[in-house]
Amino acid sequence: MAINIDEMAVFCKKKGFVYPSSEIYGGFSGFFDYGPLGAQLKRNIMNSWWKYHVQDKEDMVGIDGSIICNPKVWVASGHVGGFGDVMVACKKCNENMRADHIVEDQLGVQAEGLSSEDFDKLIKEKDVKCTKCGSDELGDCKVFNLLFKTFVGPVEGDKAVAYLRGETAQLIFANFKNVVETSRLKLPFGIAQMGKAFRNEIAPRNFLFRLREFEQMEIEYFVHPDKEKECPYVDEIKDYELLVYSAEMQENEKEPVLMKASVALEKGIITNGWHAFWLVTETKWFEELGACKENFRIRQHRKDEMAHYSSDCWDLEYKFPFGWKELQGIADRSDFDLQQHMKHSKKDMSIFDEETKKKVVPFVVAEPSLGVDRAFLVFMFDAYSTRKDEKGNEVTVLKLNPKIAPVQVAVLPLINKLQDKAREVFATVKNNFNCFYDKSGSVGRRYARMDEIGTPICVTVDFDTLEKGVLTLRNRDTAKQVRVKIEDLNEKLNLFFAGEDFENLGTAVEK
Ligand code: GAP
């Protein structure tokens, strides 16, 4: 990783990946718009997630719930009553700050699980200052609810209040009975959803990391309550290595340890096979799409961080330039949410278990919940690299995995005279791949532009194309070139995108 988060934001804007939202009016804190390349990359990430987690799995189905729903959902889930962060305001400049952020940043202490009173005490005793003006005159801490309110219908007032969803997960619980009845699911099974979520964050920061409008890809994985630890898939993941940072290691100030999932289970560090299964599954998804495994670790929540209904929770963390941070929470939620919705809606959420011939309220053994925008950052950071060009200048190469690259194939006529032939070639590939046609500038400049936005292959139409029917393919990561016949182009590209080495696609071009 060669750049920091601010430089990444500049790069994303310059190349058309992400812009500050409504920038012509000065932007809007916590909101960003995805540009042409970013929108495609984000879509590719989400499609890949859906395929890997839903379409390729027998025990998974997906839904697409509404962003605004009956507000009782959020009362039952506890979001209306208790979905908040502790906020502190500066008496001098009125800056609002998250108490955990300023305490962590200025005192270097872990702030998870602290109450408003704990923060008040720390801030006063340790002379914590305003991050904006430096004053130590800070007000009392108070809890600020993160749900965005809106009004439904023509009349504003308490009765019309509704909320933009604070997570996608609650729609899974609210639809649980409908999904089970219409999909003939048998335990264990998972329900997935991806889409927008909204949180009125006190202090959005770090570009796409903490937003007020973001996207999530979430799964609720349901098991029989008496079989909470019976994961049939442990064999599939046992040899996969994870960098493990358990609660015990954190409490005793030890370093994380690289170990096989089977070792973590044998040693009782991970106590449930399902957790190991999901932690590996999620890390693998990132790795298979080109993320660097050494930038990932799994961190167990300490007791003081854990929600009261949760018996265990692990985060998949990534080493961002601003530190190890949560990418994805994998929490054990027991039957908390279904019980809450049963209580509030008075509807039965139990399902009939064929094996035990009993009605049961399933347990959520894992809730893999990933932010799309954070995943987007991971792929961008791990792809970002530089190299020296032939003139010795440093140039950017975005080594995105070909499966998610926003432009997969660029077709370039060597000179303008070759445009007719180049357009013919473009027409033969554009239905199969995300393609881009670029005729302007020197071919070297066009290669450099494609390297910068992560295009894995450039197809150049030159005089040999007219005379001998061959094209030059250039590889982004190595700048190596091979020749292939026009009629073989689609087949060769398919091979490449299925994982074949670039050099095996055709005859090498000697420089
Ligand atoms: N349903 C569980 C849930 O929502 P969470 O830890 O609050 O749990 C899950 O959020 C994931 O959503 C996080 O790990 C993160 O990737 C993403 N996320 C949460 N808040 C975010 C924000 N303000 N901006 C961007 N992503 C966010």
**pTM reported for the whole predicted model:** 0.95
Q: Which residues contact 257 (CB under 8 A, 6 or more apart)?
A: 243, 244, 249
* 216 alpha carbon – ligand 1 mean position (Å): 7
CA 123 – CA 141 distance, rounded (Å): 9
Q: Which residues contact 208 (CB under 8 A, 6 or more apart)?
A: 18, 32, 214, 373, 374, 376, 377
Specify the ligand 1 atom closest to the Cα of 326: 14
* 218 alpha carbon – ligand 1 mean position (Å): 10
Place of tokens 């499966």: 403
* 329 alpha carbon – ligand 1 mean position (Å): 8
Q: Which helix (H) or strand (E) holds 191?
A: strand 189-198
Fold adopted by 5-61+166-379 = BirA Bifunctional Protein; domain 2 (3.30.930)
* 213 alpha carbon – ligand 1 mean position (Å): 11
Q: Angle 419-429/489-497 helices, nearest 10 degrees?
A: 50
User: Within the chain, which residue ranges are assigned CATH 3.40.50.800?
Assistant: 407-508
- With a 6 A CB cut-off, is 71 part of the ligand 1 pocket? no
Give the β-pairing of 18-20 and 507-508: unpaired
- With a 6 A CB cut-off, is 167 part of the ligand 1 pocket? yes
Per-residue pLDDT of the chain (511 residues; tens, 9 = 90+): 579 999 999 999 999 999 999 999 999 999 999 999 999 999 999 999 999 999 999 999 999 999 999 999 999 999 999 888 999 999 999 999 999 999 999 998 888 878 899 999 999 999 999 999 999 999 999 999 999 999 999 999 889 999 999 999 999 999 999 999 999 899 999 999 999 999 999 999 999 999 999 999 999 999 999 999 999 999 999 999 999 999 999 999 999 999 999 999 999 999 999 999 999 999 999 999 999 999 999 999 998 888 777 778 999 999 999 999 999 988 889 999 999 999 999 999 999 988 889 999 999 999 999 999 999 999 999 999 999 988 899 999 999 999 999 999 999 999 999 999 999 999 999 999 999 999 999 999 999 999 999 999 999 999 999 999 999 999 999 999 999 999 999 999 999 999 999 999 999 998 6
* 446 alpha carbon – ligand 1 mean position (Å): 38
Q: How many CB atoms lie within 10 A of CB 121?
A: 13
- With a 6 A CB cut-off, is 373 part of the ligand 1 pocket? yes
Provide, for the chain, the percentages of residues in helix, strand and coil under a 3-state DSSP scheme, each rounded to the nearest 5: 35, 25, 35
162 contacts 147 by C-beta, under 8 angstroms = no
- With a 6 A CB cut-off, is 216 part of the ligand 1 pocket? yes
User: Within the chain, which residue ranges are assigned CATH 3.30.930.10?
Assistant: 5-61+166-379
Testing ligand 1's pocket by substitution, the residue of 74, 85, 145, 167 carrying the most ligand atoms inside 8 A of its CB is: 167
* 96 alpha carbon – ligand 1 mean position (Å): 21
Q: Which residues contact 211 (CB under 8 A, 6 or more apart)?
A: 30, 31, 32, 201, 204, 373
- With a 6 A CB cut-off, is 201 part of the ligand 1 pocket? yes
- With a 6 A CB cut-off, is 369 part of the ligand 1 pocket? yes
- With a 6 A CB cut-off, is 166 part of the ligand 1 pocket? no
Beta strands per DSSP E along 375-442:
384-388, 394-398, 409-413, 435-437
User: What CATH number should be reported for the domain whose range is 407-508?
Assistant: 3.40.50.800
